[in-house]
Copies of this chain bind each other. A is one copy, B any other.
Amino acid sequence: MITFKEAYQKVLAHPLDLGTEIVSLMDSLNRILAEDIYADRDFPPFDRATKDGIAVQFSDFANNGHSFKIEGLAAAGVVQQVLNDKNNCLEVMTGAVVPEHCDTVVMYEHITIDEGKVTINEKVTKGQNIHYQGSDEKADALLLSKGKKITPAEIGVMATVGKATVKVMGNPKVCTIATGNELVAVNETPKPHQIRKSNMLTIKAALLNSKIEASSLHLLDDKKEIERELERALIENDVLLLSGGVSKGKFDFIPEVMEFLGVHKVFHRVLQRPGKPFWFGIHPKLNTVIFSFPGNPVSTFANYHLYFLPWLQTSWGLPLDNSYIKLSAAIKITQPLTRFIQVSTEVKDGIFWATPVVENGSGDLTSLAKADGFINLEPRTEEYEVGEVVPFVKTRW
């Protein structure tokens, strides 16, 4: 059996080239940017008024009780206006181009208008209330870099520079595969010895949070059927995520069938809890990667977050998340197994705390709903102490 660290490194050593994809701007939300985004012009693209009021050519008289005649109006969305007489002013609206021969904007709140004559009531500073052309970004400046997650803020930036379509990292074609005769569909009433399929729905939902729409299969414990279905799945997908069927049971045909179908087993069984019987393989010819998780809900969920998501980030060329959290309770790890312990989290006074969730082994589905993630603890002789900082993998957004 190999250690968690070895298994993790072996998984990350088998990334796939997932290519890129062009999607519409709104569809790019929560995807990973696969191109650099540049300013198509200066931002702002012109000297822009930031207040409603008047535009003047600043001179000392702007502070000297001089009154200005209003020559006209510079609205937003119209071409640049011109101030003809520097002793006059133009009314100017927020978002408008500052008129030619003007260099200062005074807001309505600071002026009085009386019979077309403007008096300024507050001290004016030359150049005020103007957002200068190119002061945020110059044309051709790099605004967003390849590899960034696209959130609403990036949608706004890309809209501004005219990216109606965006190149994003490609998604793997994923099939989630449940195995076992004991499983029935969610809308069925299980017989006493049956349970409903839930594990792979959890994983499908988790994949949706990475914007991956997975297909699904349910394999019964029938070797011939497993062979036929797995062969097709290996051809049609980039990634297979299986749950169950990798233990020592009589009907755990998956490893055997995989090898028969040309899959190369990279490892089987890891010194970890939960999820010890995790099986990982690749099909060198078809370029398919197979994560076969143990069937217990907590095992599947832990292995998905601890192996599959880092694998996905590596395939996208992204750095790995390294998150740490403080323990609110002492923990002793005596057995020589890496432990993934479900925790609820809390930020209190700016400190990020983890509290272990009371659970009842890896078959305990409801514990998942109490947890915000897993802490990842290596075995050691000394106890993990209250306040100690340990690695954390988030599972709830």
Asked whether A26 and B352 contact (CB < 8 A) given A190-B45, A347-B324, A363-B48, the answer is no
Closest Cβ–Cβ distance, residue A323 to chain B (whole Å) = 6
Contact assessment for A156 and B201 in the assembled complex, using a CB-CB cutoff below 8 Å = yes
Q: Is the CB of A360 closer than 8 A to any CB of chain B? A: yes
- The count of chain A contact residues (Cβ–Cβ below 8 Å) is 112
Contact assessment for A153 and B192 in the assembled complex, using a CB-CB cutoff below 8 Å = no
List CB contacts (< 8 Å) of A57-92 with chain B: 73, 75-80, 91
Bound state CA distance, A201 and B150, in angstroms?
A: 13
Interfacial chain B residues near A188, Cβ < 8 Å: 162
Bound state CA distance, A45 and B198, in angstroms?
A: 14
Closest Cβ–Cβ distance, residue A232 to chain B (whole Å) = 23
Q: Is the CB of A118 closer than 8 A to any CB of chain B? A: no
Contact assessment for A155 and B325 in the assembled complex, using a CB-CB cutoff below 8 Å = no
Q: Is the CB of A217 closer than 8 A to any CB of chain B? A: no
Main secondary structure of the interface of A (DSSP, over half): loop
Q: How many copies does the complex hold?
A: 2
Contact assessment for A157 and B78 in the assembled complex, using a CB-CB cutoff below 8 Å = no
Q: Is the CB of A116 closer than 8 A to any CB of chain B? A: no
Contact assessment for A46 and B157 in the assembled complex, using a CB-CB cutoff below 8 Å = no
What 1/0 flags go to A297-311 for Cβ under 8 Å of B?
A: 100010000000000
Interfacial chain B residues near A204, Cβ < 8 Å: 26, 155
Interfacial chain B residues near A25, Cβ < 8 Å: 186, 201
Closest Cβ–Cβ distance, residue A213 to chain B (whole Å) = 10
Q: Is the CB of A152 closer than 8 A to any CB of chain B? A: yes
Interfacial chain B residues near A369, Cβ < 8 Å: 143-144, 148, 153-154, 156-157
9-residue interface stretch from A10-18, A129-137, A331-339: A129-137
Interfacial chain B residues near A205, Cβ < 8 Å: 26, 29, 151-152, 155-156
User: Chain B residue with minimal CB distance to A204?
Assistant: B26
Interfacial chain B residues near A34, Cβ < 8 Å: none
Asked whether A95 and B180 contact (CB < 8 A) given A25-B186, A107-B248, the answer is yes
Q: Is the CB of A167 closer than 8 A to any CB of chain B? A: no
9-residue interface stretch from A119-127, A249-257, A312-320: A249-257
Contact assessment for A251 and B199 in the assembled complex, using a CB-CB cutoff below 8 Å = no
Interfacial chain B residues near A275, Cβ < 8 Å: none
Bound state CA distance, A192 and B96, in angstroms?
A: 11
User: Chain B residue with minimal CB distance to A194?
Assistant: B77
Q: Is the CB of A264 closer than 8 A to any CB of chain B? A: no
Bound state CA distance, A301 and B247, in angstroms?
A: 51
Q: Is the CB of A117 closer than 8 A to any CB of chain B? A: no
Bound state CA distance, A109 and B249, in angstroms?
A: 11
Q: Is the CB of A50 closer than 8 A to any CB of chain B? A: yes
Contact assessment for B301 and A323 in the assembled complex, using a CB-CB cutoff below 8 Å = no
Bound state CA distance, A73 and B221, in angstroms?
A: 14
Interfacial chain B residues near A102, Cβ < 8 Å: none
| Interface core residue of A78, A203, A205, A325 (most chain B CB under 10 Å) | A205
Q: Is the CB of A196 closer than 8 A to any CB of chain B? A: yes
Bound state CA distance, A25 and B198, in angstroms?
A: 11
Q: Is the CB of A350 closer than 8 A to any CB of chain B? A: yes
Bound state CA distance, A184 and B323, in angstroms?
A: 42
List CB contacts (< 8 Å) of A22-50 with chain B: 25-26, 29-30, 43-46, 48, 50
Query: Could you jot down 9 A-B contacts, CB within 8 Å?
Result: A50-B296, A76-B251, A79-B193, A80-B192, A94-B295, A137-B366, A155-B202, A155-B204, A159-B201
Q: Please name the 3 residue pairs, one residue from A and one from B, whose CB atoms are nearest each other, closest first.
A: A77-B181, A77-B182, A156-B202
